Amino acid sequence: MSVIVLLTQLLNGVQLGVLLFLLSAGLTLVFGIMNFINLSHGSLYMLGAYFGAAAYTATGSFLLAVVAATGGSLLLGLIVERVALARLYAREHLDQVLATFGLILIFNEVARVTWGPSSVYIDVPGTLVGAVDLLGLSYPRYRLFIIGVGVAVAVALYLLIHRTRLGMLIRAGASVPTMVGALGVNLARLNALVFALGAALAGLAGLLAAPLMSVQPGMGEPILIVALVVIVTGGIGSIRGAFYGALIVGIVDTVGRAFLPELLRLMLSPSLARAAGPALASMLIYLVMAGVLALRPQGLFPVKHG
Amino acid sequence: MIRRLCVLTAVMLSLPALVRAETPLKIGFVAEFSGPQGALGQDQFDGFMLLVERNGGKLGGIPVQILKEDSQLKPDVANQVVQKLIERERVPIIVGLTFSNIMMAVHKPITEKEVFLIGTNAGPSPIAGAQCSPYQFIVSWQNDTQAEVVGQYAQEKGYKKVVALAPNYQAGKDFVAGFRRLFKGEVTDEIYTPLNQLDFSAELTQLAARKPDAVFIFYPGALGINFVRQFQQAGLLGKLPLLSTSTADGLNLPAQKEAALGMISGTFWGPDFANPVSRQFVEDFEKKFKRIPSQYAAQSFDGALLLDSAIAKVRGNVADKPAFMAALKAANFKSVRGSFRFNNNHFPIQDMHVFEVAKDAKGRISLKTVATPLKDHQDPYHTLCSLK
Amino acid sequence: MAATAILLALAAVPPLCAALAQPYYLTLFARVMILGLAAMGLNLVLGFGGLVSFGHAMYIGVGAYAVGILDAHGVTGGLFHLAAALAAGAALACFVGTVCLLTRGIAFIMITLAFAQMVFFLAVGLKEYGGDDGLSISARSAFGPLHLDDPTILYYAIFAVLLLTLLAGHRLVHSRFGMVLRGAKLNERRMAALGFPVRRYQLTAYVISALVCVLSGFLLANLTRFVSPAYMQWQVSGELIVMAVLGGTATVLGPLVGAAILLLIEEALAAFAMGLPVGVEEFVRDHRLGALGLLIVLAAVGMRRGVYGALAPSAH
Amino acid sequence: MLRLEDLVKHYGGLAATDHLCLEIAAGELHAIIGPNGAGKSTLIGQLSGEIRPDQGRIVFDGRDITREPVHRRALAGLGRSYQISSVFTEFSALENVILAVQARSGHSFRFWRRANTETQLVQPAQAALAAVGLSDLAQRSVASLAHGERRQLEIAMTLASKPKLLLLDEPMAGMSQAESAELTQRLATLKGSLTIVLVEHDMDTVFALADRVTVLVAGRTIATGTGAEIRADPGVRQAYLGEQEESW
């Protein structure tokens, strides 16, 4: 296994991590500030992908697709938050789980009715087609683009959180949720804003994933579980935690998948390694999370309280 | 009034088969209809219904009622719908089944109740061997044979080093094993990915680094579309020969588009077959559904043809199980693949072909027959089956 | 009252099915009871202990695989199956519970999920026992003269397990142990200050609740004669939570009601026919999960104590 | 009865408990007072076992309990009440006290019998309720009790667990004048039968009840003595005046 392959696999891991970060950022804020478990966050990712795919197919412009995906899920997030979820902020977590589980079923059916049961595919935008040469190994240009977008969003979020009044309120809300209300801030509006921001990022993630993976009903749930792994590993309520958590999960998953079976083959018999390799590779992120939680229940980069 | 009743009773007593014909024969159709793999089941259903509708709602001259059930790719759900069909609807025949794991979950519950199982897709190895049942009739293929033909082709092409990829479940392992059986070169690596994994970046990087002579893949449904598109995005298309089964099929090609051109696929049938049954089938199917039929539609169409011939032979009296079983076993019909006959394990003995993805006469991306490496091929498990 | 009515109705299912010659409904209600049993088991920690486990489906899997694996090796004795299932379940629950109970809140939710996922992938990797495809069971567990192959006997066996669990559950939540468990849900700190080693009680509750799910898995394997990793997917763990919350977590019986609602409504929508124009009915049948989702959201927003909780007087 | 030896607890750079030494005799009512931020809560936490000291020892009833978890200390006879009333709101008043009795009567791995029908639990619980004057409310759900009643219930629970030493954390907080007068009365009757450590803001109570008073400032004891001695101590006066200015 050469260094270049290792580097390329790391890049793959970063690309997955960046996608997970976009999805996790909103989830962790909603969780940290409103103490709300939103299982339907994955549905916003799915619908963002659908909105973007529809716009891209109709207009052929990827930029318009980005607008449609982020704008569409932002609006949808706002509506869902105001109509249903805002009523559940003060309720038990279990009621929130129940309601958002119901929402998942609804959104999946809406997608099925609107876009049909089979997958929708969109092409990589023209200028991003093809691969670039990275020291002898070719790497898809589009995946590099995803990394770029993700890092740009991370920087923008950092500036938003650390340099603006809104960011100050978000930080205050994440560390001392009760205090923000006392500051005379319109809590309902702050909640809606944070929720919508998270929804827009989820929609963007969905669109970015669309040319790589198919857009299909139910695509949000498996990745939601991984996003939950990310936010508890990183520390709930913390954007920084979500970022590092996402990178860790992305890299562990990719590198594990790539090298674990080979590693096992050095230690076990080939047939045993072939059976154990994929199983163990799939378990890896959960092993990491369980380890982190058992030793640091608050996650790796928790929000500082007080 | 009384006289009419007497006459009616007499008719009923003397002509049971005829009276039975008045109430439609119920047939259960179980497949995947939801989720990303739903297109597979839908194609199976469309292929089957094509014949039923062409015959005016009849099979073997008897009106039939098709009860469509979705197994949702969940073994326990499949189990439940099968129970519902058998116990509530009392169907004597169940057709379809898409995935091997679902087939394994319902095979025993169906055949043990002496209900006829007409499999039109999945052919896992256990039921071809030791667990075979006289009530099963698999009109498609045994899983391994689909890959064996590709292995034979790779052998004939003289490839030395091949990397194989498949989802990490039994069918995936069966297909890779099937490929290895007739391929004498070296399979340098077998990569199994989780069944729900849609992003293959890590695996493609490994492929690019290994530089094998060819790649063998088994990725059914949406998995295959994603793999092939990402294969192209990674710049590997054209550099590495891509051999496959159940991946570049009629369902996936419209989404894979140019990314699949030049891919090799092995199976028992292709839309360019020249025999009259196949030509008629392709023509009718395209007219009705505005798309090229996939092999799944063709298999199910054959399933309908098989039932048509057997039901006609017993004149609708499917309750006479030994007679109906014999009629099915005889398989007296003209198949889309030409002639058709069952092996002792009730799987077909058939020619296996290799196809290349290419543009057809109308400029659409389709499958073109390039070779027939295996003639009158039998699956390797039939000797384990105790049926004669 | 409501509880008696529900149990009488369940007891009356076999004769009704026989009278209507519809054995299918026997299977359906057996499934309702089995999943209800699992949800009741989960609710011991979820509703009474305040510990949200997102991984209880793995214990269903343990119970089911105990039957499947022993059967694959030719062991058909029901007592062996049961003993192996419970022993394996208890060992796993002791280990997983000990680690998970180091955490609380969302961390607990996720770490239980993590273990369930690991066990799930382990089952997927068990090639000799079918891996992802699952494993069919050649014969149901043998209990001497009790022939589980007779659907009615199997049904009443499940019913009996359900009744015993209900009774035991009801006694348990009001016993000393139940007081400690419920007290710890309300105020764990205070319980420690009173002198209770809280974690030990929570671990015991976790193991008991896991064992109820193991029982449910044991019965499920016997009902379907098939085991598969699909029994322990995270979705199943999620559905168990939904059943418990939908039915009402403050009562022992609530989760059973939740399971019944979820499964029966889906079944009813699948056969939806109310004389509406053809297209509408077809639409509802095809998209029944969406309709179910709508009902769940309404129940979550509108009812604070679950469906059974809203019907029945509080347990205490 | 209770001895603190050179106890230290740091939070970051801040010393919440700074080489604290304290000796509490059996049977006395010892009050601890101090301005806000003096480290009273941290001290209580370390006594009850919720906070681990960085250094030093806690000896209770002749036994080193520095590393013992909360529930062991409780079983050893160290009972406490909380600043914010922390009763079990979903239970009845009687059930709350039953829990306290239960904690002291062996393990609770008993799964079958209803706890509130066991006379060995119910009788002592009723007695404890009677002791704080809540007998009439025994069956009432705690959610429906007034604030003062909850505080009394809390004391009943602490009494029912038969502690050797009672740690009272601002028991008068949030009580009406009449309520706190009544509670003062009850505490006075308890005096002598068990050791009490009282952390309290209300000076009237402290000086009315305490045998000895310790004044805590910035994590250290600045004075210990009888009420009269403390009142006369110039250091204490200064600390308290200073605190009042600051808090203003």
**What DSSP string describes C264-285?**
HHHHHHHT--SS--HHHHHHHH
Element (H, E) at C46: helix C24-46
Residue A280 counted as domain residue? yes
Long-range contacts of B320-323 (CB under 8 A, 24+ apart): B321/B114
Chain mean pLDDT for chain B: 89
Do C and A touch, 3+ Cβ pairs within 8 Å? The answer is: yes
Comparing alpha-carbon positions, the chain B residue that sits nearest to A209 is: B199
Judge: C175–D113 Cβ closer than 8 Å, yes or no: yes
Q: Would you tell me the crossing angle of helices A141-163 and A3-34 to the nearest 10 degrees?
A: 40
Q: Is pLDDT of A1 > 80?
A: no
Judge: C294–A106 Cβ closer than 8 Å, yes or no: yes
A87 touches chain C (CB under 8 A): yes
Q: Is pLDDT of D219 > 90?
A: no
Q: Is pLDDT of D204 > 80?
A: no
Taking only the tens place, the pLDDT of each residue in B220-255 is 888 899 999 999 988 888 889 999 998 988 888 888
Q: Is pLDDT of C271 > 80?
A: no
Residue C312 counted as domain residue? no
CATH topology of domain B144-267+352-383: Rossmann fold (3.40.50)
- Tokens 């008629």 locate to B280
A180 touches chain B (CB under 8 A): no
pLDDT average, residue stretch D221-227: 87
Structural domains in chain A (count):
1
Q: Percentage of chain C with pLDDT > 70? A: 96
Judge: A279–C249 Cβ closer than 8 Å, yes or no: no
C75 touches chain B (CB under 8 A): no
| Chain A residues closer than 8 Å to C305 by CB | none
Whole-number Å distance between alpha carbons of C16 and B361: 62
Element (H, E) at B372: strand B365-377
Judge: A212–B206 Cβ closer than 8 Å, yes or no: no
Structural domains in chain C (count):
1
Q: Are strands B186-193 and B62-70 parallel, antiparallel or unpaired?
A: unpaired
Q: Is pLDDT of C316 > 80?
A: no
Predicted confidence at residue C312, as pLDDT, reads: 62
**Nearest-by-Cβ selection for A258 from B34, B202, B233:** B202
Element (H, E) at D177: helix D177-190
Mutation choice for C interface testing from A101, A115, A249, A252 by most C CBs within 10 A: A101
- Which structure tokens are listed for B2? 């009384």
Predicted confidence at residue D238, as pLDDT, reads: 78
Predicted confidence at residue C272, as pLDDT, reads: 67
Q: Percentage of chain D with pLDDT > 70? A: 95
Residue C294 counted as domain residue? no
Residue D55: beta bridge partners? D8
- If you compute the radius of gyration of chain A from its CA atoms, what whole number of angstroms results? 20
Give alpha helix (H) positions in C101-230. Answer: 105-125, 151-174, 176-186, 188-194, 198-224
| Chain D residues closer than 8 Å to C182 by CB | 88, 90-91
Q: Is pLDDT of C171 > 50?
A: yes
Would you say D110 and C176 are in contact if contact means Cβ atoms under 8 Å apart? yes
Would you say B76 and B103 are in contact if contact means Cβ atoms under 8 Å apart? no
D185 touches chain C (CB under 8 A): no
Of B11-15, B189-193, C132-136, D62-66, the one with minimum mean pLDDT is B11-15
The CA distance from A275 to the nearest CA of chain C, in Å, is 6
Whole-number Å distance between alpha carbons of C206 and C208: 6
Local confidence band at B64 (pLDDT 50, 70, 90 cut-offs): very high
Mutation choice for C interface testing from B101, B117, B174, B218 by most C CBs within 10 A: B101
Q: Is pLDDT of B283 > 60?
A: yes
The CA distance from C128 to the nearest CA of chain D, in Å, is 40
Please give the residue range of the domain that contains residue C60: 25-231
C180 touches chain D (CB under 8 A): yes
Residue C271 counted as domain residue? no
Looking at chain B, which subunits does it touch, using at least 3 CB pairs closer than 8 Å as the criterion?
A, C
What 3-state class would DSSP assign to C23?
Answer: coil
Comparing alpha-carbon positions, the chain C residue that sits nearest to A111 is: C290
Predicted confidence at residue D248, as pLDDT, reads: 32
Would you say B140 and B119 are in contact if contact means Cβ atoms under 8 Å apart? yes
| Chain C residues closer than 8 Å to B194 by CB | 124
From residue B260, alpha-carbon distances to A99, A212, B254, B355 in Å are 43, 15, 10, 12
Q: Is pLDDT of A306 > 70?
A: no
**Nearest-by-Cβ selection for B195 from C23, C127, C132:** C132
Residue A162 counted as domain residue? yes
Query: A271: domain CATH number?
Result: 1.10.3470
| Chain A residues closer than 8 Å to C98 by CB | none
Chain mean pLDDT for chain A: 88
Is B144-267+352-383 in the same CATH topology as B12-141+274-348?
yes
Judge: C300–A98 Cβ closer than 8 Å, yes or no: yes
If one counts every other C-beta atom within 10 angstroms of the C-beta of residue C283, the result is 16
The CA distance from B74 to the nearest CA of chain C, in Å, is 7
The CA distance from A302 to the nearest CA of chain C, in Å, is 12
Residue C169 counted as domain residue? yes
Whole-number Å distance between alpha carbons of D44 and D7: 12
| Chain B residues closer than 8 Å to A255 by CB | 202
- Tokens 């319109």 locate to A186
**Nearest-by-Cβ selection for A213 from B168, B194, B199:** B199
Q: What is the ipTM of this complex?
A: 0.84
Mutation choice for C interface testing from A34, A286, A300, A303 by most C CBs within 10 A: A286
Q: Is pLDDT of D200 > 90?
A: no
Judge: B171–C225 Cβ closer than 8 Å, yes or no: no
Count contacts between B and C (CB, < 8 Å): 70
**Nearest-by-Cβ selection for B205 from A5, A112, A124:** A5
Please give the residue range of the domain that contains residue A210: 3-295
Comparing alpha-carbon positions, the chain B residue that sits nearest to C151 is: B87
Phi and psi torsions of D182, nearest 5°: -65, -40
The reply to whether CATH 3.40.50.720 applies to domain B12-141+274-348 is: no
Mutation choice for D interface testing from C194, C199, C249 by most D CBs within 10 A: C194
Residue C18 counted as domain residue? no
Predicted confidence at residue B195, as pLDDT, reads: 80
Q: Percentage of chain B with pLDDT > 70? A: 94
Domain ranges of chain B: 12-141+274-348, 144-267+352-383
Local confidence band at D30 (pLDDT 50, 70, 90 cut-offs): very high
Local confidence band at D1 (pLDDT 50, 70, 90 cut-offs): confident
Q: Is pLDDT of C21 > 70?
A: yes
The CA distance from C145 to the nearest CA of chain B, in Å, is 22
Q: Tell me what percent of chain B is helix, strand and coil, each rounded to the nearest 5.
A: 45, 20, 35
- Which structure tokens are listed for A94? 């279990």
Whole-number Å distance between alpha carbons of C47 and C40: 9
A121 touches chain C (CB under 8 A): no
Comparing alpha-carbon positions, the chain D residue that sits nearest to C174 is: D114
Predicted confidence at residue B15, as pLDDT, reads: 44
Q: Is pLDDT of A238 > 50?
A: yes
